[in-house]
Every structure is written in structure tokens, then in C-alpha cells.
Structure 1
Amino acid sequence: MTMFNPQCLFDLTKQSLLKNESWVPVASQLIPFLIWEDLFMEAVSGRHMAVVEAMVASWPSPCLDLTSLMRDQQLGALVTLHSVFKALGVLLDQGPRRTAGHLRVLLPAAPVTWLDKELESLRCGKCSRAAPRKPLVGMEVVGDLSFQEADWNLLLSFLTCRVEEGKALPQLYCRKLTFADHLPEYQVIEKILANVQLDGVEELKIYYITKMDFLSMIAPYLSQMVHLKILTLQTLIPRDWILMHPPQDKHRTDQLDTIYKEFTSQLAYLRQFQHLHIIDAYLRGNINHFLKHIETHLESLTISPIYYTLDNSDLKSLSLYPCTRRLKVLNFSKNLLAHLNVKLLGAAILRTSDTLEHLDLSYCDLRDSHLNTILPALIRCSRLRLFKFSGNCVRTSILKRLLRRILPTKKSRCLVLPLPHNSDREDPLVFVSGLVPLLEGLGVLCKIHLNPNEVSFEVRVDVLMEQS
């Protein structure tokens, strides 16, 4: 090293600064911001938490963008965020900053769960991370908020601690709100939500909630989420709920019906609502409560409740309300429909046939007669790109009839179909190979793929240039 090597001198200077945080308050207004950011990233990567905490408390810019400053950090992210929130608490206790003004903090995204991945394919668009219109308090925190008490959820721990200590909270701007198991006390949730800019929420997820009165508590806040686009209700099972067919406890059923009415009535206030996903929930006779209040045209609808908890009125409601007229995605998988009037399902498919692109009827306990019933509606779905029918029980002749009626097509199309139930003793590869002459006779260029589970197969028709 020589005195003519400024890079080495700069590195030595950074190493010296990172050993002690006493310089931070004085240097925050003197060091150029690009160098300040570089020092911060060095402190984060080197796990110099005392320096990180001091730099956050003296942040010289109106925006602390942790999404970019912590982008490449894999290990130690929770430790860093713990120091960040500790410093933010100090700033909140001190009141509005006089030098740098309002501080906006952009938080990294929350961990991706299996449910996020499962529903990703059903979403027809991405939500934007809209900036708040104007600052309301001395500090703003921008990022997704999950009300699930867990070691990784440092934002919720930070907010809960301040509520319990009676201290001020920052203004919260969240694109996504999540409520899951291990919720804080309702009073804590309500005080935190009072500081959330609810008209900026675009996605709401409620799952693994075993207290049905939670929907009553959250209902008044739902009406304020006027820009909500996605609502997911996953695994809503009351404690000690006995699943019978039909349910024996009429009082409990009526109580649940009242809760659904109170919650779904707030959907009328949502002006940009596009995607509704209801999975593993007790719904018997309650789907109409959801659909009749929605005043926008849904793009995707998922209804996959607990087994045997749908009735004919639920299927009928799919054709009664304007919100289902322009569906692009209809996911009805894992509904046991054999005991219901499948003509009502066919009517729902026919109603949205001009726009429907994805249809999932897998594992619905459907048979030959059921497929024949809905086939006329399937034929009318000119935009259909993906049709899932695996897990149902149909014969070879019915499958071939299905292929003849919905192929050929002028658009790329993927069919996921079950192996016929009368081919138990036949090699699946032999059956799939036997479809080649049929498809060649239809004049379509396609690929047949036997899925690894050997209970279903895919027929892919690829069109390089679609004709309008």
C-alpha cells in the first residue's frame, strides 16, 4: 500500500469508522449521501449493529430504502432489522426530525409462503407499490404487514411493543395485509390498523383463523380498503367445529351465516376488486353473500371449500350476479360435486364462456354423466387456454369425445385429464400412445405428456400464430 492508492486509504477509513459509532451524529450532515449509503451497507454486511442503529437514528435523507440496501443480504437479516426498529423507536420517541424532515422507511418483502406460490398462477396482474399521497406524521413505514406473531415478524413485534407501552406509532403504508394464526389481541390489532393507510391496501389475506368472530372484528376496516384488488380466505374453521353432512348444530350454522353477512356486506365499497379466493372454508349456502355485494367484474374466482359444504344454491349463485360475468379464471378444484345439480355448474361456465381462460375442475368427484352435462358449455369457451380435470372418474370413450369436441382449436391450449378408470390393467403409456391417431385425425399439432403420478396426462396444443 502507498499514499498514492486512494482506494486502499478509503477502505482503511471505512474500517476505522465501523469500529465505533460515536462519529455518526456529527457526520450525518457532512458526509456525501452516496458515501453514507456505502458505509451503511458495509455496516450491515459486517454485522456492525451498533453502527447500523446509530446511522438509522441519524439518517440524513427523507427515505431509508431497506429494500435496496439489504437486497443482497441472506444471513443476519433479522438481526439487522432488529437494530433498525430499535433506532426507529428512538426516532419516534424524539418526535419529528428538524433537519431531514419526514422519514419514509421502505421495508423488505415478507417471506414467501407456499400459499403465495400456489395462488400466483391465478393472479392476472401485479399490484403496484403506490407511494402515499402526502406525509401525515414524522415517520412513515412502507411495506407489507403480517399480523402473525413469529420470530421473523420484527415489524409486528415492534408495533405491538409500542402499543403495549402506550407509545406513538409510525404511519403505515401497506400494499398487502396478512392475518394468520397466533394473532395479537384484538385491541392491539385495532390500534395498529388505526395507523394504516387502509385505502392503499391492495391485497388482504386471512388464513388459519380459528376464531370466526375475527371476521366481525375486521369487517369495518374492510370497507375502508377501497382499492383492494385481491382477497384470500384460507382455512377458516371454527374451533371444535364438527363436520357433518348436513351439520347438526343449526344454531352454530346460523351464527356463521350472520358473520358472513356482516363481513361480505363491506365488499360493496371495493371499487377495484378483481380476485376472490376462498379455500378450505365452511361455505354452505353462503357464496351468494360474497357475490351479491361485489360491484366490480371479477377476473379470477377460487372456491375450494371443505368437503361436502356446498349445496345447489351455491352453484346457482355463480350465474345470478354481474361480478362473475367476465371471469378469466374459475378454480373449483377439490369440490365434491357429484351429489349436486351439475347443470348449474354448466350454466356458470356458459355465462363466462366469452372471457374464461383457465378452468380447474380437478378432484371434484365428477363422472361420465357430469362431463357430458358441462361439455356444451366447454365447447363455447373460445378463449380457454388451460382446462384441469384430473382426479375425476371417466371412461375412455368420454375422454375421446371430450378431445373431439374441444379440439382442434385456433389457440394454444393445455388439457390436464385423468387416465380413464376402465384402464386399470392397461399400461398408462400404452393408453396415452393410443391417443396419437385420434389427435392426428383431428389435424392438431400437440404433445401428450404422462404426469409422474401416472393418474393423469396432459395434452398440449401449441399454436405459434393465433388467428383472430
Structure 2
Amino acid sequence: MRRAWSAPGHAGSYHPKEKMNYHNLHLPWQRRKHDTCRSVEMSGQDPLSLLDLAAQSLLNDEDSAVRALEKLPVGLFPALSTAAFDGGHTKTVTAMVQAWPFPCLHLGSLRDQSITQDLLEAVLDGLELVPTSAACPRKSKLKVLDFTHDFEHSNWEECSETTPAPFVITHMLEEPEADPLAPSSKEQPPHHREPVEIHTDLFLGGLFGFFHLSGFPSYILQRVEKSHGCLRLRCRTLVINQVPLRSLVEILGMLELETIREVRLHHRSRFCFRSDLIQFFTHVGQMSNLGHLIMNDIPWDFPADCFSLLSPLGHLQKLHLIFGCLSGQLQKMLSGLQKPLETLVINGCRLTENDITYLSQSIHATHLKELVLCGNNLSQMVPGPLEVLLGEVSGTLQHLNLRSCRLKEAQLRALLPALCCCSHLRSLVFYDNVISTSGIMNVLQHLAALKELKRVQYPVPAECVVYLDEYRWGNLNRVELARVHAKLQEMLQALQRADMELTNSTSVA
């Protein structure tokens, strides 16, 4: 039965013993958005519902609001909670967390700071403290406090489509007890209570080689460390920008590494001790569920054999390498991975023929869905290793990026037979290579047979611009470029491929 609570003045009533579907629970801010859209258009304001007004009135006396939680129907918690958070009623917030009747409470990203420090403290107090006799004796069902930006990678079954503003109930894992209003006088002591998981994304940033963890992340880390196991921190995405590796290693030691799904490391410092790098990669190798690793601006003297410490990673699917010290080191960096990658981004890494040859012979080649080789000079690899690589990935490849690879028209023409075998190709990027209009037309004519190819980003034709070198150009003739673009569109129309989205480098953000 998809029967939820009704606000005063609406048909229907709430019956606590009925099974409720919380996947489709309409929260107060949703109802205001949809039910009052016409009045908003007329008055320019969004009037509060009777339910919201009643919640605000109850919160005028917080002691009464806390006592009311004991008999508050489950479906009315969202409205009262919204008002409590909006009004900064910390005492009520703490009590509501202790009586929360759902498994998950989403409070918005810590990076957006959607709640105040006082409210955050009130929430964490509610998680750690055992309710007193004066507080609501209702037993909390809360298992997860969610600070992630979205619910895409939630560990739970499926998440609500509602917008987290200011918080949202994501889902109900189990049916409420037959009588959820019955008081429970036996509260477990803290060390016997099931720990509550805090799900969050961490954004760590330093400046000029210095790093000091501050704000909400620092406070939460301190509370988790002092909670004696009552709180458990599960970090989903870890973004690291200019943080000294020694400080980073200390922070990683405080996290449950197996919960991290994505790491983005931006490290421009030229001063790295090998021991710190080894410790960092040792920690990353323990992130057993890591699926996405981005490494940007790594020092030139980076020891590629550190990647051997990543061999335990069994879930790594996406690897982004964006730095200039990889030349000739690709085999050292990838051979330790026991399972093939689905996405490989190698941007500006000065790849050699040996690198491309190794990649074509590796376990990754026949599994790659996305391959980005932009910013590498591949002009000396056609004919040769690059053709072989494209042939190997042809069975699975969906996205290919050859931007700024110094490919000339003859070289691109030589790659066409291998490209035409990529039957699952969905997008192709080859702009910022010096190609004439006729060369671009030739590419499109051959690839028009690939029915799944929907997006192509092509270079500004050589006739429309003065190229200063392989990467820079000036004096763009926009009139001629528009004429060429129209001509390409007409050709695709004639080839019955009007469904293909065609853009050039001037229209790429």
C-alpha cells in the first residue's frame, strides 16, 4: 500500500500499524513545491502549509516539542525536523536524532556547509548520548548519517529521488514495528549500542606546502576518534589538493580505507620523500573497494614502481594519470594491477612507443571502454603501435580521445580501418590536430557506419586558421568555419546520420 501521512486539512489519516512505502514519501518541501506552484505564480511567495505552521508553533517551546516526540506519528517527523533545522533548535534536533524512526538521515555535503556548527554538534550529540528519562524514550532506528553530495554510491538498496534540502529520508530498510509508539524503558549503554555510520566525502586542501585540517571535517574526525566506536566514519570520495604526503598519511590512518570508492590526488610539490610515497601507496592499496583513482601533477621523480603496492586493488576500474613523469614507465605502473581497467586516462604523460606497445599487449586492452591519450605526441606511432592498440580495444571501446596528439591527415587516414572496427564507439575526440576539411570529411564518411557513434569533436580545419604549431593557432576565420560546419552537417544528413552531434574545438568549453 502506498499510503503515507497526510497533513491537516487533507483527506486520509495516518495509521501507524499500516505498512508504509518510504521510497515515495512526499516530504514537506516537495509538497510545497508542487501544491503551491499556482499561488507562487500569482503572489510571488511560497506560503507555509498548516503542517509547517503547526511544527513552528510546537517548537516555540522546545521542552514540549521533545516530549511530543514520544507520540509523534512516524510520518510527521520530516515536517518537524525541517522546522527544527531551519530554526536552529539544537535541543530538539538532538532529541529527534535519538528518536529517528528511519535508517538514514541525509544532511547535505559538508563542503556546502548546509548546516551550522551548532546543529552539527547537536546531531552528533544525539548519536552518542543515551536518551535520558526526560527525553523521548522512543528507540532510534538510525544507522547512517549521510553527508555525501548525492546518493549515487549509497551502500543501501536504492535511494529516494528527492532533493536534499535541508535533509531527506532516503529509504526505509525494514517495516516499522507493529506499535512504533510503544515506549522502551531499557536503553542499551553506549558500548552495547550498534554504531552509527557517518557517510561523507572529504575535501582536503593545502597551500604552499602547509596543511591544517579545519572546519567540519576536523570536528567530525575528532568526534569519531573520541566516540569509542559509537561512531564510524565511512569516506566515499577523498579529494586531496596540495596536501603534504606526511600529513595525508596521518589522516588516512584515521579512516576506514575499505569504504573509500574514489581518490583524487593533486600534488604539485617537488619535495617528496620516497618513504612518504611508499606509505601513501600502501594505504591506497588497502582501499579494497577503490574504483576510481586520479593522480594529477605528480613530481617528475615519482618512482613508478610504487604502483606495485596497488596490486591488491580488485575493484579499480578507472585510472587517470595526468603528469609528465610517466614516459617509458607505463608497464611498471600498470603491470601490478591484477584486474583489467575499464577507463584509462593518460594525459600529457609523454608516452613512448614502448608504452603504447605494452598497453596493446596488456590485460587492459581487451576490456577498455574509455581511452584518453590526449596531450601525447603519437605522430611517430602511426603506422605501428597505435594501430595495433586500436585494433585490440575495438571490441569494447566506447569513448576515444586523441586531442592534441600531433596527428596529421595521413596518420589519421591510416587509423581509419582500426577505428571502423570499433563497433561500440559512442564518442570520438580528435580536435587540436592539423587536419584539412577534406580530411575531416573522409573521417566522418568512414565512421558514419558506426551506428552507436553519436558525438564527434573535430579540429578547426587547416583552411580556417593559421596554425602557429601543433597546439596553438590564431587568426580564426569564423565565417569559413561556419560554412565548413554546415557542409559537414549536410554530408551527415545525406549519410542518414543526422543523429550524430558534431562540434569543433571552438565550441568546446
State the TM-score, normalizing by the size of structure 2. 0.66
Tell me the distance in 2 between the aligned counterparts of 1:136 and 1:288: 49
Q: Which amino acid aligns with 1:207?
A: H
2:285 aligned with 1:223: yes
| SS of match in other structure, 2:417 | helix
CA displacement 1:104-127 (0-9 Å, x = unmatched): 23324339xxxxxxxxxxxxxx96
1:59: Cα distance to partner? 3.6
2:430 aligned with 1:430: no
2:157 aligned with 1:110: no
Are the structure 2 counterparts of residues 394 and 271 from structure 1 closer, same or farther at C-alpha, using a change threshold of 3 Å?
A: same
Match of residue 263 from structure 2: 204
Are the structure 2 counterparts of residues 166 and 127 from structure 1 closer, same or farther at C-alpha, using a change threshold of 3 Å?
A: closer
Match of residue 374 from structure 1: 415
2:220 aligned with 1:179: no
Q: Which amino acid aligns with 1:217?
A: Q
Q: Which amino acid aligns with 1:228?
A: L
2:322 aligned with 1:279: yes
Q: Which amino acid aligns with 1:265?
A: S
Q: Which amino acid aligns with 1:141?
A: I
1:147: Cα distance to partner? 3.5
Tell me the distance in 2 between the aligned counterparts of 1:11 and 1:230: 42
Q: Which amino acid aligns with 1:276?
A: L
User: Does the 8 Å contact 1:343/1:373 carry over to 2?
Assistant: no
2:93 aligned with 1:34: no
1:439: Cα distance to partner? 5.4
Match of residue 130 from structure 1: 155
1:399: Cα distance to partner? 2.9
User: Does the 8 Å contact 1:267/1:294 carry over to 2?
Assistant: yes
- Length, aligned pairs only: 405
Runs of 5+ consecutive residues of structure 2 not aligned to the other structure: 1-6, 10-48, 158-191, 466-476
Q: Which amino acid aligns with 1:367?
A: K
Match of residue 446 from structure 1: 498
Tell me the distance in 2 between the aligned counterparts of 1:342 and 1:52: 71
1:40-439 aligned at under 5 Å gives the runs 40-46=81-87, 48-51=88-91, 53-55=93-95, 58-61=98-101, 63-67=103-107, 78=113, 80-90=115-125, 94=129, 100=139, 103-110=142-149, 128-131=153-156, 138-148=195-205, 154-162=215-223, 168=228, 170-182=231-243, 185-186=247-248, 188-193=250-255, 196=256, 198-208=257-267, 210=269, 212=272, 215-236=277-298, 238=299, 253=301, 256-257=302-303, 260-262=304-306, 264-280=307-323, 282-305=325-348, 309-338=350-379, 343-424=384-465, 427-435=480-488
1:288: Cα distance to partner? 1.8
User: Does the 8 Å contact 1:332/1:360 carry over to 2?
Assistant: yes
Q: Which amino acid aligns with 2:145?
A: L
Tell me the distance in 2 between the aligned counterparts of 1:449 and 1:351: 26
4+ runs deviating over 6 angstroms:
5-12, 95-99, 149-153, 447-450
Tell me the distance in 2 between the aligned counterparts of 1:143 and 1:313: 41
CA displacement 1:270-292 (0-9 Å, x = unmatched): 22322222234532223223321
CA displacement 1:230-277 (0-9 Å, x = unmatched): 2222333x3xx6xxxxxxxxxxx3xx22xx322x22332222322222
